[in-house]
Amino acid sequence: MSFSTTSLLDHAPTTTDPTPPPRTRRRRLPDLRRWISPVALLVLWQVSSATGLLPPDKLSSPWTVLQSGVEVARTGELGAAFTVSLGRVAVGFLVGATIAVALGIAAGLSKWGEVLIDPPVQMLRTLPFLGLIPLFILWFGIGEEPKIALVALGVAFPLYLNVHSGIRNSDDQLIEATTALGYTRAERLWHVILPGAIPQTLVGLRLSLGTAWLALIVGETVNADAGLGYLITNAREFLRTDVVVVGLVVYAALGLATDFLVRLLERRALRWRAR
Amino acid sequence: MAGTVEIHGLTKRFGDRTVLENLDLSIEPGEFVALLGRSGSGKSTLLRVLAGLDSEIDGEAVVRGTVSVAFQQPRLLPWRKVWRNVVLGLGKQSDDRRLALRALEEVRLVDHADDWPRTLSGGEAQRLSLARALVREPDLLLLDEPFGALDALTRIAMQRLVEDLWQRHRPSVLLVTHDVDEALLLADRVLVLDEGRIVSVHALGHPRPRRLADHMDVRTKVLADLGVTEDALA
């Protein structure tokens, strides 16, 4: 009974209360029980491999994967592939993001920009961009260009949509208030509209980075002579499932790492949102 | 002496609907005017015209000097610290923290100077909005139902604060409200607006700080102008 009373009081609206909520940084201990099933699956995998239930030409044991990982890392094979793939994502992302932000701002700010830019983008958006690979190979050959173009395309759409709507949904009340304070159009853009679009833009950034890795994996797997995708397809030729898994794990780690970076950026740029 | 506000024959139409009709009004320097009216009477439109937010008008509306507005919602930039929201009122790229702190001192928010606006309570946010308006040293302070969204106790404190700040800085004030008692407590002159016309003007000579009991007679008249009679109250 006393429990429910306290929780009711905790949630009572406190508009008259002048003290802001206490800023405690809660760092909850991880719930170790959540590790039970992943570890059990890993053990099951290892046991299946050891008993021959899971043949190595279908899937290598976790232990073999770990050993191969250390091996390809030591020979420099992994490092080289990693660098090539990271470079492709970086260049593709820069190209795609530049285009997306420029178009998003233009469409968000001007009526004509909206009318001219938004319809074709919305139409192209419905195309499954990974399906464009055959065309890209015809247009760009099988070098770096089609992979970079694929990444750029994957990045551009989610980022454009979010930049555009971030600007479109800027707060009219704030714009009016700064107009009354004598702010010019350019000043309102800089102090109100663009900062207001940042949260939505960061959402788009996270989405687009996720798509960037996906686009890269597909692009590299279809044809490549270097990079992580090449490492994987090459290993497949020799039934080296251990190396295939190593490649996949590195892809996953890279995806997680970029996501972590964006979260870090969010926490920094959106400090004002924290309570 | 020229008034801070001089309005002659002001008419404002939205399509074929006339919101303000042939309005005349002047506000003296340092005068506190309250504008009462029911919803849709045109009072907010008049305030927007004076704030320079609506320039498509017929007639003449001249404001001499600097204008500041405090809205019903505080309209703070959430991504700027409290003190940076104050210097927003100084315009351009002002970084004058000293001025900001002085303005925050006046609204008793100086302890929150480095907080984010989202951490403020409703009353605090509204006080910050007032500080932002006053830091400009306005000749005309426009208040658009600035206490409308606050709870009753905070509202009383805010009314006292506004009177206090007005007496210290002496801007002309136009307070738009639909709270009759608030208007009677604060204003030198109470105007009642109905369907775009000023239907009555009541000058209040009572000494300050005022007590409601001193002007129950005016209160009855103003309420009658607004269409609320004693019978309806009983």
Residues of A in contact with B117 (CB under 8 A): 272
Question: Would you call A268 an interface residue with chain B, using a CB distance cutoff of 8 Å?
Answer: no
Residue B204, domain member (yes or no): yes
The CATH number that applies at residue B42 is 3.40.50.300
Q: Mean pLDDT lowest for which of A7-11, A39-43, B110-114, B215-219? A: A7-11
- Beta carbons of B184 and B31 less than 8 angstroms apart: no
What pLDDT score was predicted for residue A275? Answer: 58
Residue of A nearest to B129 (CA): A177
Nearest chain B Cα distance for residue A14, angstroms: 8
In B, minimum Cα distance to A185 occurs at: B92
Are B122 and B150 contacting, i.e. CB atoms less than 8 angstroms apart? yes
CA distance B88 to chain A (A): 8
Quick one: which of B93, B95, B131 has its CA closest to B112? B131
Residue A8: pLDDT band (50, 70, 90) is very low
How far apart (Å, rounded) are the C-alpha atoms in residues A203 and A163? 9
Q: Would you call A20 and B73 a contact, using CB atoms and an 8 Å cutoff?
A: no
Which H or E run contains B223?
A: helix B216-225
- Sheet strand arrangement including B172-177: B67-70, B140-144, B172-177, B32-37, B189-194, B197-203
Asked whether residue B109 is domain-assigned, the answer is: no
Average pLDDT of chain B, as a whole number: 89
Q: Is A3 on the interface with B (CB under 8 A)?
A: no
Q: Which of B51, B120, B123 sits opposite A180 (nearest CB)?
A: B51
Sorted by sequence, the CB contacts under 8 Å of residue B158 that are 6+ apart come out as B123, B126, B127, B146, B147, B150
Number of folded domains that form chain B: 1
CA–CA separation, A95 vs A89, rounded Å?
Answer: 10
pLDDT at A162: 96
Tell me the pLDDT tens digit for each residue of A53-112. 999 889 999 999 999 999 999 999 899 999 999 999 999 999 999 999 999 999 999 999
Instruction: Tell me the shortest Cα–Cα distance from B16 to chain A, in angstroms.
Output: 25
d(C-alpha B190, C-alpha B173), whole Å: 12
Tokens of A158: 């989610």
In a domain, B93, yes or no: no
pLDDT in tens, B150-168: 888 888 889 999 999 999 9
Residues of A whose CB is below 8 A from B112: 20
B134: nearest CA partner in chain A: A181
Residue B213 — very low, low, confident or very high, per pLDDT cuts 50/70/90? confident
Task: Flag if B151 and A15 touch (Cβ within 8 Å).
Answer: yes
* Residue corresponding to tokens 């001499």: B64
Would B221 be classed as within a structural domain?
yes
DSSP string, A14-46: -SS--SPPP-----PPP-GGGGHHHHHHHHHHH
* Nearest-Cα residue of chain A relative to residue B51: A180
Phi-psi region at A141: left, alpha or beta (left = phi > 0; alpha = psi -120 to 50): left
Quickly state the pLDDT bin for A4 (edges 50, 70, 90): very low
Predicted confidence band of residue B221 (pLDDT cuts 50, 70, 90): confident
pLDDT in tens, B40-73: 888 889 999 999 998 888 998 999 999 999 999 9
Q: Is A3 exposed, middle or buried (0-12, 13-18, 19+ CB in 10 A)?
A: exposed
pLDDT of residue B224: 86
**Cβ separation A191–B75 shorter than 8 A:** no
**Does the CB of B110 have a partner CB in chain A at under 8 Å?**
no
ipTM of the complex: 0.86
Report pTM: 0.80
Q: What is the pLDDT of residue A2?
A: 37
In a domain, B122, yes or no: no
Q: Do A16 and B151 touch (CB under 8 A)?
A: yes
The Cα A145–Cα A248 span in angstroms is 23
Determine phi and psi for A47, rounding to 5 degrees. -65, -45
Would B145 be classed as within a structural domain? no
pLDDT tops 70 at residue A165: yes
What gap in Å lies between CA B46 and CA B28, rounded to an integer? 17
Minimum CA–CA partner of B135 in chain A: A181
Tell whether B106 is covered by a domain.
Answer: no
Residue-wise pLDDT tens digits, B172-192: 999 999 889 999 999 999 999
Q: Assess if residue B37 is contained within a domain.
A: yes
Q: For residues B174 and B27, is the Cβ–Cβ distance under 8 A?
A: yes
- Does the pLDDT value for residue A14 go beyond 80? no
B118 touches A at CB < 8 Å: yes
The 10s digit of each residue's pLDDT in A249-274 is 999 999 999 999 999 999 988 988 87
pLDDT (tens digit per residue) in A196-217: 999 999 999 999 999 999 999 8
> Which range of residues forms the domain containing residue B49?
1-63+171-234
Backbone angles phi, psi at B221, to 5 degrees: -65, -45
Q: Does B156 lie at the interface with A, CB-CB under 8 angstroms?
A: no
Q: Tell me the pLDDT band of B234, cut-offs 50, 70 and 90.
A: low
For residues B21-48, average pLDDT: 91
Helix (H, G, I), strand (E, B), or coil: what is residue A107?
helix
pLDDT digits (tens, 9 = 90+) for A21-36: 455 555 677 788 889 9
Task: Give percent helix, percent strand, percent coil of chain A, each to the nearest 5.
Answer: 80, 0, 20
